[in-house]
Amino acid sequence: MMRLVPRTETSLPWQIATPILAVLATMITGGALFAIMGYDPVAAIRTIFWDPLFGPAAGYSRPQLLVKAAPLILIASGLAIGFRAGIWNIGAEGQYIIGGITGAAVALAVYPAEGMWIFPAMVFAGALGGWAWGMIPAMLRNWFGASEILVSLMLVYVAQKVAAWMAFGPMRNPEGFGMPGSRNLTQYPSAANPELIDGTGAHWGVVAAAIAVLATWFLFSRHIRGFHIRTAGLAPRAARFAGVKPEALVAFCLGLSGALAGMAGLFEVAGPAGQITDSLGSGYGFTAIIVAFLGRLHPLGILLAGLLLALTYIGGELAQLTLQLPAATVQVFQGMLLFFLLGFDLLTRFRVERRVLA
């Protein structure tokens, strides 16, 4: 008979091992799933995890890795700050959409003016839009005790409606022959978020993600505010005793994660997506939650987890093309990853004891 015994201290080796175990378990279970569906499991796994980086068509897919990973890492860095403090922003997707809209609005308003200031102003407006969308659950929690989990999640659906309204209404391209969607910002030099170095996929969002990783690392390791955030997550009463105002912390965490998500939305709209459409939300805001947890809410972990999740996006598309795997494959993989991670997480807090019945 086996039973779980609580550990006196959380085990560090297990904390590092569980994400790796979760990835392996996802591969094995995913392979088994493919086998049942009649696909060659080895080929499928190789197509998803290996071919995007080293396969025959890697030249096309490799730059996509950074394109997909940048928004994930940028959003997850912000989410991790809140999650460490026990403040659960589940609505990054909505903040991402609103940030994309407010950032693009700057460009669309001044079109066709050119100027060095336009793109920075868009980034700022995007961050501001995401911040404001994040402040709604923050204020509702502080004033009325509303759950930020529910409010932020519900606001995702509101944001999607706003995006559809913009695409069909105020932001519709006047020269677009009545098609829904805004002007294409990639064709507007002052507003475009281009590939900075050819063949890498790196745009300004990648730079922002790198800065976000370094900044969160600095915040948590060196700054007293990072210490207070961790304290609030582990022992709220101790945080209050140390002088943390819970309301201020809620506003800081939801505002900051909203701003980063909003920025990610702007980089996407001005770059890879190019325009405001009704399908502006692409699921990055939700996938970033998996990235944050898979990365153990640690900046370095988030960097690696963001790259891995980006890989599943690209690999999933590749598998769709070459093996005709269903489109839902990516979601199944991401779901399994989170499932296994949370499952194996038990081992960091408990150890398995084999017990002989007396």
Partner 1 sequence: MTQPEVVRAEAFRAEVFRADGIGKSYPGVRANDDVSFAVLQGEIHALLGENGAGKSTLVKMIYGLVRPDQGQMALNGQPHHPTDPREARASGVAMVFQHFSLFDALTVAENIALGMEHPPPRRELAARITTVSHEFGLPLNPSRRIATLSAGERQRVEIIRCLLQNPRLLIMDEPTSVLTPQEAELLFATLRKLADQGTAILYISHKLEEIRAHCDRATILRGGKVVDSCNPRAHSARELAAMMVGGEMRLIDRTGRQAGDVLLQVNDLSLPVPTGEGTALKNVSLSLRAGEILGIGGVAGNGQEELLAALSGEMRSAAAAVTLDGKPLGAASPEQRRKAGLLTAPEDRLGHAAVPDFSLTENTLLTAGTRKELVRNGLIDHKAAKSYAEQVIKDFDVRTPGPGTAARALSGGNLQKFVIGREVLQTPRVLVVNQPTWGVDAGAAAAVRQALLDLARAGAGVIVISQDLDELLELSDRFCALNEGRLSAPRPTEGLTLDEIGLMLGGAHGMEVASI
Among 77, 193, 216, 231, binds partner 1 (CB under 8 A): 231
One-letter amino acid for residue 192 of the chain = A
175 makes contact with partner 1 (CB under 8 A): no
225 makes contact with partner 1 (CB under 8 A): yes
With CB under 8 A as the rule, give the number of residues binding partner 1.
19
Compute the least distance from the CB of residue 219 to partner 1, in Å.
10
Q: Cβ(96)–Cβ(261) under 8 Å?
A: yes
Compute the least distance from the CB of residue 216 to partner 1, in Å.
15
One-letter amino acid for residue 256 of the chain = L
Among 46, 62, 172, 240, binds partner 1 (CB under 8 A): 240
241 makes contact with partner 1 (CB under 8 A): yes
Site string for partner 1, 2-21 (x = CB under 8 A): ------xxx-----------
Beta-carbon-side half-sphere exposure of residue 111 (alpha carbons within 13 Å): 20
- Please report, as residue ranges, which positions from 255 to 274 form the binding site for partner 1 (by CB under 8 A): none
What is the enclosing helix (H) or strand (E) of 182? none
Nearest CB to partner 1, comparing residues 233 and 255: 233
111 makes contact with partner 1 (CB under 8 A): no
Helix axes 299-323, 329-349, angle to 10 degrees: 150
Torsion of CA 130, 133, 135, 141, to 10 degrees: -140
Nearest CB to partner 1, comparing residues 196 and 238: 238
- Please report, as residue ranges, which positions from 195 to 224 form the binding site for partner 1 (by CB under 8 A): 222-224
234 makes contact with partner 1 (CB under 8 A): yes
227 makes contact with partner 1 (CB under 8 A): yes
Nearest CB to partner 1, comparing residues 161 and 225: 225
Q: Cβ(258)–Cβ(268) under 8 Å?
A: no
Of 77, 339, 102, the closest CA to residue 212 belongs to 77
User: At CA 161, angle to CA 252 and CA 170, rounded to 5?
Assistant: 100
**272 contacts: CB under 8 Å, gap ≥ 6:** 67, 203
Contact positions toward partner 1, by CB under 8 A? Answer: 8-10, 222-225, 227, 230-231, 234-235, 237-238, 240-243, 245
